[in-house]
Amino acid sequence: MTKLAVPRLFFGFLFALAAIGVGSATHLSARAATEYSQLVAPFVSATCSSTGPCLQETNTNSGAGIKGVSSKGDGTIGQTKFKSTSQNNGTAGVFGLDSSSSGAFDSGVLGTSTNGTGVRGTSVNGSGVTAISVNQSALFAQNTGLADGIQAISAGNDGTNSSTLNNSSIFSGRSGVWGHDDSRDGGRLNVGVAGSSTNGIGMSASSASYVGANILGGGTVDQDFPALSVVGNSGGHALITACASGSVNPCDSFHARFIIDGVGDIVTHASIDADGNVDILGQYQVNGNCVAGCMRPHGGAPGRAVKRYVATSTVPSAEDYGEAQLVDGQAHVSLSPDFANVIDKHAGYLVFITPEGDTNGVYVTQKTANGFVVRENHNGHSDVAFEYRIVAKPYGEVDPRLPSVQTGLVPARARRLSD
């Protein structure tokens, strides 16, 4: 070999090592011409024993420090064989570091692809990809096209499992999952969070010691949008079921204490407490028996209902009614004890009498907290039955007469019923 051939081979080998990013040119000697093909083969090995890098390249201009290109294989392969024992001493097969002193748009590692995956991480026993940040989002994903921003699939566990450790006793509340629709086009088809299932539960909410699901919403001025909208499948099945604690989960119609079915009927074995107007379209049932909106089956077809109208009052009131008998032109009617217990005994009450026969007319006198007296006019002595109706003020009610309230929501149904 000539003296001129030795430098050519040496510098040719340096160029090959810099292209694939492995080994160290300073640790290899010149090779004979017959061994040149082995030196530039795809697998070139160099070793060193140092606390620093075996190979370090510095580019003081705008080019890359190291560039690896392969026509059919990986451009660069990085490995670590260190057996880490904690996050503090863990090492990486490839470590990318952004050491710029300013600017927020550089990346420690950047991966791009035209048709494949930009960056892919896999692991057998650990996390495929771990993202950690102190002051910004640990993981930011954005799709500028029409596909999903993030798609997560698990073969045997949750597709996405996220939580928050925020101390809400000191700071404002945060959520394990926060989904929000930020569109500004005026459309109403987007959703903040959507859950769906083919055979399971579309969305589940639970809390160990607080509210399981909190819903805030509803229409604004001139809009009739509810805070909660429930749309059932076809077939008239239950729209809403509520079960007692310790019963089945999820609640079904067989175990439910309260049911609203697909045609608007309400079946309950407990009580309903509502502050405001209640509009029930369909039947109201107690222990399976219809008590409001009922209709006799027509032609052997049960399940029919009628619409009822409810009278309104200018002031809160409680009413009772019954029948009594004039004896020699007079009668004493005692208030029912349960009715007397729920009315304001200091506010007085009204009594309306309807005789069921011919009399000189009757009048009411001697009204007390326990009852009242009915007498026939002109000292009559008729023995005639009569009906009575009592209207009293409920105990503890202090609401004024026809109070004026400010509201921006006037439901269409409420307007039709009051017109």
Here the CATH number for the domain that contains residue 322 is: 2.60.40.2080
Question: Is the preceding omega at residue 302 within 30 degrees of 0, hence cis?
Answer: no
Element of type H or E holding 285? strand 284-286
User: Any long-range contacts for 182-188 (C-beta under 8 Å, 24+ apart)?
Assistant: none
The angle formed by the CA atoms of residues 344, 349 and 350, to the nearest 5 degrees, is 160
Domain holding 256, by residue range, is: 236-310
Domain end marker among 277, 310, 343: 310
Q: Is 255 left (phi over 0), alpha (psi -120 to 50) or beta?
A: alpha
Question: Does 128 reside within a domain?
Answer: no
3-state secondary structure of 223: coil
Residue 45's nearest CA partner among 16, 67, 70 is: 16
- On whether residue 286 sits in a domain, the answer given is yes
Query: Does residue 96 lie within any of the structural domains?
Result: no
Q: Which amino acid is at 8?
A: R
Using a 10 angstrom Cβ sphere, with 0-12 exposed, 13-18 middle and 19 or more buried, the burial of residue 386 is buried
Task: Indicate if 327 and 371 belong to the same structural domain.
Answer: yes
In single-letter form, the type of residue at position 404 comes to S
Task: Report in angstroms the alpha-carbon separations of 71 from 42, 74, 75, 350, 391.
Answer: 11, 8, 8, 100, 95
Verify that 304 and 346 share a domain, yes or no: no
Q: Is residue 261 domain-shared with residue 285, that is, in the same domain?
A: yes
First to last CA, the chain: 112
- On the CB side of 65, CA atoms within 13 Å amount to 9
Q: Is residue 34 part of a domain?
A: yes
Q: For residues 177 and 193, is the Cβ–Cβ distance under 8 A?
A: yes
- Tell me 86's DSSP state: S
Instruction: Tell me whether residue 56 is in a domain.
Output: no
Per the domain annotation, does 118 fall within a domain?
no
Please list the pLDDT of the chain residue by residue as tens digits (419 residues): 444 444 444 445 454 444 444 444 344 444 444 454 444 444 445 678 888 888 888 888 988 888 888 899 888 888 888 898 988 888 888 888 888 888 888 888 888 888 888 888 888 888 888 888 888 888 888 888 888 888 888 888 988 889 999 998 887 888 888 888 999 998 888 988 999 999 888 888 888 888 888 888 887 666 778 888 888 877 667 888 888 888 888 888 888 877 877 766 777 654 444 444 455 555 666 666 676 666 665 554 555 555 556 678 899 999 999 999 999 999 999 999 999 999 998 899 999 999 999 999 999 999 999 999 999 999 999 999 999 999 999 998 888 898 887 654 434 333 333 33
- Among residues 170, 169, 171, 189, the alpha carbon closest in space to that of 181 is found at 189
Same domain, 303 and 333: no
285 and 340 housed in the same domain: no
Does the residue 152 lie in any domain? no
Q: Within this chain, do residues 303 and 337 fall inside the same structural domain, yes or no?
A: no
The 3-state DSSP class for residue 412 equals: helix
Chain centroid offset of residue 183 CA: 19
Residue 51 structure tokens:
């606390």
Whether 57 contacts 105, CB under 8 Å: no
Q: Are residues 333 and 303 in the same domain?
A: no
* Domain total of the chain: 3
The pair of structure tokens assigned to 394 is 């409920």
CB 373 within 8 A of CB 298: no
Nearest Cα neighbor of 389 from 333, 315, 310 is 333
72 part of a folded domain: no
287 & 337 share domain: no
Show the tokens assigned to 319. 């009413």
Considering the domain architecture, whether residues 306 and 323 belong to the same structural domain is answered as: no
Do residues 268 and 322 share a domain?
no
Handedness of CA 16, 18, 21, 24 (dihedral sign): positive
The per-residue pLDDT for 393 is 94
* Assigned token pair, 144: 């500028």
